[in-house]
Amino acid sequence: MEQNTTNISKLEETINYTFANKDYIITALTHSSFANEMKNKKIEVAYNERLEFLGDSVLSIIVSEHIFADYKKFPEGELTRIRATVVCEKTLAKLAREIKLGEYLRLGRGEALGGGRERASILADAFEALLAAIYLDSGNDKARVAQFLMPLIEPEIKGYVSAGMMIDYKTELQQIIQQADGERLEYVLVGTHGPDHEKIFDVEARLNSNVIGRGSGHSKRAAEQNAAKEALAYFK
C-alpha cells in the first residue's frame, strides 16, 4: 500500500494558508482507496468525500457571488452558464494541477499505480475538499477561501466570457432563420492554424450555401458562436 507522506508545509506554502488543525488538510488529501486499504489493517482513516460535499457548496456560492457582482448586465441564464462552465470537473482538475495537488494525495496502492494522481475526477474532488478544509479551519470564513480560490478561477471566468460564449448567438440566429420555411443554416470548418496547444479554428456560417458570417476561436464551438454573431448583423 502507498502511504504518501504528505509534505503539508509545502502545500500550505503553495496555497498561502497554514492550517491550525492539520486533520482538515490531511483528510482533504485522503482518497477513499487509501482509507479502504487502511481499514483492511483494522485502522480507521477519515477520507475526503464529506469535505468534498461541503466544498462543492462553498465553491458554488463564492463563484455565484463573484459573477453576480461583476457581471451586472448578464441575465440569470448567462450567469448560470458561467458557473456551470467553471464549476465543473474539467476546470477544477485543471486548478488542482496548477497547485500540484496530485503530488500530495494519499491514495491506495492500486489507485496510485493506475494514474490516480492525474485522474480528473480524483483531482476535482480533492480540490473541493481542500476548499472545505480551509473553510472549516478558518472558522467558516468564506472570504478566506475566496482569497485562495479567486486568483485561480477568475482567469477561467474571464476566458469564458471573452470567448463570446455568454450570449448564445447560434440559438438566436437559428430562431431567426426558422421564421422562413426551407432555409438551411450550417457551420463549416474552413481551416485551422497555430500550434497544437493554441490551435485556432476558422468557421463560416452558411445560409443555403451562402456565407453570412465568419468566426474564429480556440474551439469549434467558440468559432461557430463568433460566426453566428457576425451573421446576426445581417438580420438587425
Looking at the annotation, which residues are catalytic? 56, 128
Helices (H) and strands (E) in the chain, counts: 11, 3
Q: Enter the C-alpha cell of residue 229.
A: 454573431
DSSP string, 100-137: TGGGG-B--HHHHHTTGGG-HHHHHHHHHHHHHHHHHH
The angle formed by the CA atoms of residues 163, 164 and 167, to the nearest 5 degrees, is 150
**How many angstroms from the chain centroid is the CA of residue 129?**
15
Q: How many CA atoms lie within 13 A of 22 on its CB side?
A: 6
The angle formed by the CA atoms of residues 151, 125 and 150, to the nearest 5 degrees, is 10
User: In terms of Cα–Cα distance, which of 51, 65, 66, 13 is closest to 131?
Assistant: 51
CA-CA-CA-CA torsion sign (8, 9, 10, 13): positive
At which residue does the C-alpha cell 482518497 appear? 31
